[in-house]
Amino acid sequence: MEHGLVQAALRAEVAAFTGAVAGFAEHDFRASTRCVPWTVAELLIHVRDAVNRLPSMLADLPPARADVSAAGYYQPDVRFSVATNADRVMIAQKGAREFATGRALGASFTAACEELLAAVASEPAGRLVRTRHGDAMSLTDFLATRVVELGLHGLDVSDALGRPAWLSPQAARVLELLLLSGEDPDRARPDGWDRLDFLRKATGRAGLSPIEAAELDRDGVRHLTLG
């Protein structure tokens, strides 16, 4: 995936997501989400921590070569095991309890997103990084995984609050290209599905009929393992 496209998607999705969070009422942070058992506040902590990892990664020496792609990052291994997912739940719940108000939590979320953008602003397209799981990746591919975190969990939050999705067109394109192995999304997306239908269904955020599941398989949609 092109570095400029991924960077543009990251900037657009940070602006869209943080802009939405700035308008949340206190009760919005307590709403339940489809990412059971997380509330909106707990899900925001999970996303905050996901975007907050890159600055420290950039401070380390880069690996000699990349061995994992953005799609490869979402393989069903120990990082998405029952035990690892249970840790994710606990860490997000504990993090949310550290804030007295949703407004303070939202400010922490926004600060982490802005720090991410500042950290990558001057990095070259060919930069390599090593993830906390030990993966050696191009910066472009790792940033694509952060677009996944922001974009899909943004859908989770907007749906939880009954609000129109704020997913940016740039982030939606990165998500579609990742799910469709780089094919033209407008041609590969099943007939009659709009962009949000496709993203919700292809990532398990909406139910699939047997016919729809067969359509996704026919179109070669990648099945990403998501925590």
Given a cut of 80, whether residue 174 has pLDDT beyond it is: yes
**The predicted structure's pLDDT at residue 143:** 97
> In 10 A of CB 41, how many CB atoms?
25
User: Which residue ranges form the domains of the chain, and what is each CATH number?
Assistant: 3-170 (1.20.120.450)
> In 10 A of CB 91, how many CB atoms?
14
CA–CA gap between residue 40 and residue 227 (Å, rounded):
16
In single-letter form, the type of residue at position 206 comes to: A
Question: Who's near 13: CB < 8 A, 6+ residues apart?
Answer: 147, 150, 151, 154, 167, 168, 170, 171
CA–CA gap between residue 108 and residue 18 (Å, rounded):
10
Burial class of residue 183 in the structure, from the number of CB atoms within 10 Å of its CB (0-12 exposed, 13-18 middle, 19+ buried): middle
pLDDT tens for 112-165 read 999 999 999 989 888 999 998 899 999 999 999 999 999 999 999 999 999 999
Bridge partners of 32? 39
pTM, full prediction: 0.93
pLDDT tens for 191-215 read 788 899 999 999 999 999 898 898 8
Q: 96-128: buried (b, 16+ CB within 10 Å) or exposed (e) per residue?
A: beebeebeebbebbbebbeebeebbeebeeebb
Given a cut of 80, whether residue 184 has pLDDT beyond it is: no
